[in-house]
Chains A and B, each alone.
Chain A
Amino acid sequence: MALLVWFTMGIALWHFTVFLPDHFWQGIVGAFLGATIGAVAFGAIVEIASGKGLGETDVSTALTAIPGVAIGLAIVYAIGMRQEQAVE
């Protein structure tokens, strides 16, 4: 259930990337990958570190995904920017 929650949060927050300049690696699709993978990976790391089971979810489970999404998007954005700079 926790995986589903993180994935949902990842996709939910990805929707708001349309307000950011499109410098993501592979554009909106790259942002999608960054947001979802970041949410799930970060959520899993925090959950495992805190010793909670993946079946137990509460509001904090959903909120845990937010930093993950931010990190994932930042990485994809950075890759995209580097590629653009390299092309220029």
Chain B
Amino acid sequence: MGNRRKHVFVLLFVLALIVLSGIVIASKPTKLGLDLKGGVQLVLQGRPTPQQPTLDNGSMERAVDIIRSGCDQLGVSEIEVARVGSDQIQVGIPGATSVGKATECATKPARLFFFDWEPNLIGREFTIGGHPGREPPKGPVTEASEEWKEAGRAPTGRADQELLAAGAYPTEYAAAKLASEQKPRPNCENCSQSTTFYLFEKKEPHKLIDGPEFTREDLFISPSGRKRPADAGIVLKVPQGTIVVSEKPSDSKGQVLENAEPGWFALEDNPALSGTEITRPKQETDEVGAPNVTFGFTDNGRKAFQEVTRQIAQRGAASAIGPSSTESAEQTSGHFAVILDNEVKTRPIINYAQNPDGIDGRTGAQISGGFNSPSEAQNLASFLQRGALPINLNLISQSQVSATLGSEALHQGIKAGIIGLALTVLFLLIFYRLLGLVAVTALAAYGVIFFALIKLIPITLTLPGIAGLVLTIGVTADSNIVIFERIKEEVRAGRSMSNAIAAGYRRGIATIIDANVVTLLTAFVLFVLATAGVKGFAFVLGVGTIVSLLTAVVFTQALLGSMSRTRLLRSPSALGATRQSVRWHFDFMGASRWFFTLSGCILIVGALALATKQLNLGIDFKSGTRVEVALVKPTDEEGVRTALQNAGISGGEVQKESNPGLGDNAFLIQSKTLEPSQINEIQKQLEREFGIEANGFDSTSVGPTFGTTVANSARNALIFSLLIICAYIAFRFDPKFAVPVLIAIFHDILITAGVYSLTGREVSSGTVAAFLTILGYSLYDTIIVFDRIRENMPRMPRAAFSQIVNRSMSEVLTRSLATSFTTLLSVVALLIFGGATLGDFAFAMMVGIVSGTYSSIFIASPVLTAWKEREPGFIRRRERIVAADGSVSAFADEGDLAMLSEDGETDAEIEEEVAAQRETQPKASAIATAEPPPETDGGEPSSNGEPPAVDPASAARRERNEKRRARRQQRRKHGRKR
């Protein structure tokens, strides 16, 4: 296929893609993330249970299914549930305005067990309450009464007396202590839970500090994420085979007193049957109109239920003396306990006179007497219907975004994107003229195709995703800049337009691929290792980079290729490729020690700032709760603080906030990690006292586990990014090229850390992600420079390495600055117009770009030079130059520039070409002489198939050249003698 046909085919293909994309954009909705449309987002971490001792795929998937279907049943619609990593589940509930219900539906284990009560009581509990109808021995009762008094709960009231008579302990500590003294039953398959740990205060009455937890370590991390001291309290380990349960007393009508303090029991963990063996749970009303929950049994459940109730009845009958009436039998009948999540919901008696052979499970059973309202019973029925979670799920992070703030963020993101795009377009048009117009067309094509892909895949668009999107605009523009600068060089070198375009793309593509592969690798590492919020950013960046390769390389090449013989591209000025206006002739390597000094000083300031001010780590790392609220009635910080105290929250920081999305009366509240119920309480209290604007309540809570996960994932992402980038550079360039890159990256990271420490800006997981990405992206500059060094090394076989680097830098500095500048345009737009969250991303990106550009020019290249100059080959070159010229100049003599040495040309041929080059392009820059014009009348073809330049019969110059060569050969001989 001829070039022209190929170009037309590519153009038609891209045109078809654009049309198809237009159809997709018109017909498919955009999937917005919760941070843009409002709602509640939770991150849960799975923990094993005795029934599910390891977290495998099956149990995690079952948990996901149960949450998805269960929350639907609880009236939480459109729930988005997804697994994150091996042990986390992310739950998103669009439109939810309260974290309470959402959290409950996702995290309540709803683990229901049925116990034959009396045989499972332990020790004194059994002595007192294990023999219904029989007077308990006085000693244990007196001992128990004393204990209740000591605990400040003298059993004078009916409720406590009832608990005392059942054998209950007045405190959780006492029951847990008894439980902790029991023998463990390892590998107990029938047990309802595994070993648990409790942390109690040392002083009486040993209030619970934390627990039950499944590991001892979890006890020593407070909800605010702070480590507790090792001697924070008394740790009790309740071995597998024993559980601690609570029971609230009931009134004379059997109604549970919800506000009463519970009694505590240690029970042998021998459930008769579990919630998995019940069917059709539903809320109904009993004969007196009180709400209850009825349910049936599976076949196995029915048998187990009949068996356990028969045993209870038989035990009751055995303990009776003589025949009993139904009423008298009640006194001696045993109990059957229904325990939901370690709380006794109901403990009915199994009247042996009524049911001497147990209760036939075919008629089902009911839980009654424990509900204060039908909705409470309805909730329990729904949870039972949902089924028990196969694993324990701990809430490690939660956030609630109001729809108003979400739409405000979306609006700001779009605005920033449009402004960034407009600035980039303007720059491209001014700087590259017609080529700029081509780049703008490519950008437009990129925008349409990428937006269609976002809708088609579909990619859930989040705030970090928008940041990734804006960054890819810079990536796309950069690809064009790399190629256009190359084309301009070729045009200045005297090539025809079509040849210049072909050569520009052929030579630029390697640089673009190297640079984009590094960006892609960083995006990939982030996607695999980062936390959920950052994944969207990484995915958008990755897909965007791939699409940009299509539009910025393939599409623009076809476009320019088809235009190359038209009038439009006849004049170099149309491409901005007239005389090079800026010619860098700066001794970069010579000045490097002063730039090193500058960096050293900046880093010393950074180190001192880090030592004295540290980093302002956000709640993502430290854990905690942040609430943003827009109040109706005006108040001040003190008023909000008082409302918090009224809601039972102390120690929170309150700040008035200037957020246009929240109005003039907005406040930011930060505190230790709060429970969903506490956040609800804050919301209610503020609503009561000041009123909350519609959709004016936002909250984010991060638990210590999540903070650790975020910190670990950031560390891993950093390490893996560095390793992969270095491996790639070592593979594509030379292993020695990877080390300066690594040092430059350290330099960038530490400067950024210093800037964050000095400015006191908050460091969030998004900041780290943005910075990691920009590190990969900033290598663009390093790769551009290194790519040119690699290219110039064989062309300058006699030059010192510093001269090669100086020349390479001077050739590509404009290009390097232009790529950084275009990206900065997008990033600055994000910083100014993107709102708080995108602004955070943009600040990290901005520092990364500035630092990355600086370090690639003034750190990476000088380090590479200093290291390479130690190689014997370059030492010899330097010695030769010093011997010949007295010192090593900043730039190599034109005669030292071998243009095509890789094809094995002789010195004479090389110099002939250099001379020819000088002659044909006397005004071009040193770099612009890199390639000979193809339309020549002779010369040896080079390895890349292009004919070399030939001196247009300038005998005088040829003669001068000959003399020069002779002089050089003499110098060499002289050098060897020495």
Contact = CB atoms under 8 A, between A and B. Distances in A.
Interface of A: 1, 4-5, 7-9, 11-16, 18-19, 22, 26-29, 32, 57-59, 61-62, 65
Interface string B577-613: 0000000000000001100110111111011101110
B745 to A, nearest CB: 11
A4 B610 contact: yes
B232 interface: no
B600 A28 contact: no
A29 B863 contact: yes
Contact of B867 (A11, A29, A58, A59): A29
Contact of A8 (B592, B753, B863): B753
Contacts of B602: 12
B13 interface: no
24 contacts: A1-B615, A4-B610, A4-B753, A5-B607, A8-B753, A9-B603, A9-B604, A9-B607, A11-B747, A12-B601, A12-B604, A15-B597, A16-B597, A18-B596, A18-B597, A18-B862, A18-B866, A22-B870, A27-B870, A28-B863, A29-B739, A59-B611, A59-B612, A65-B607
Contact of B866 (A13, A16, A22): A22
A29 B862 CA distance: 11
Interface string B833-867: 00000000000000000000000000000110011
A13 to B, nearest CB: 7
Contacts of B606: 8, 12
What is the predominant secondary structure among interface residues of chain B facing chain A? helix
A9 B610 CA distance: 10
Contacts of A61: 611
A61 B592 CA distance: 29
A11 B746 contact: yes
Contact of A13 (B593, B600, B610, B614): B600
Contact of B612 (A14, A29, A57): A57
A12 B867 CA distance: 19
A1 B600 contact: no
Given A15-B600, A22-B870, A62-B608, 8 more contacts: A1-B610, A7-B750, A11-B746, A12-B600, A16-B600, A18-B866, A57-B610, A58-B612
Contacts of B746: 7, 11
Nearest to A39: B607
Interface string B13-25: 0000000000000
B263 interface: no
A58 B817 CA distance: 38
B611 A62 contact: yes
B608 A59 contact: yes
Interface in B720-755: 739, 743, 746-747, 750, 753-754
B607 A12 contact: yes
Nearest to A2: B611
A57 B601 CA distance: 20
Given A15-B600, A19-B593, A57 B870 contact: no
B712 to A, nearest CB: 16
Complex A-B, nearest 3 residue pairs according to Cβ-Cβ distance, in ascending order: A15-B600, A12-B603, A8-B607
Contacts of A11: 603, 743, 746-747, 750
B562 to A, nearest CB: 49
A59 B754 CA distance: 14
A43 to B, nearest CB: 11
Nearest to B859: A15
Contacts of A4: 610, 750, 753
Contacts of B596: 15-16, 18
Contact of B610 (A5, A15, A22, A32): A5
B131 to A, nearest CB: 57
A8 B593 contact: no
Nearest to A15: B600
**Which of B596, B597, B601, B862 is packed against the most chain A CB atoms within 10 Å?**
B596
Contacts of A14: 600
A57 B743 contact: no
**Which of A4, A7, A32, A59 is packed against the most chain B CB atoms within 10 Å?**
A4
A22 B592 CA distance: 15
A27 B599 CA distance: 19
Contacts of B862: 18
Contacts of A12: 599-604, 606-607, 750
Interface in B601-642: 601-604, 606-608, 610-612, 614-615
Contacts of B601: 12
Given A8-B754, A58-B612, A32 B743 contact: yes
A59 B602 CA distance: 16
Contacts of B603: 8-9, 11-12, 15
A16 B596 CA distance: 7
B592 A18 contact: yes
Interface string B746-786: 11001001100000000000000000000000000000000
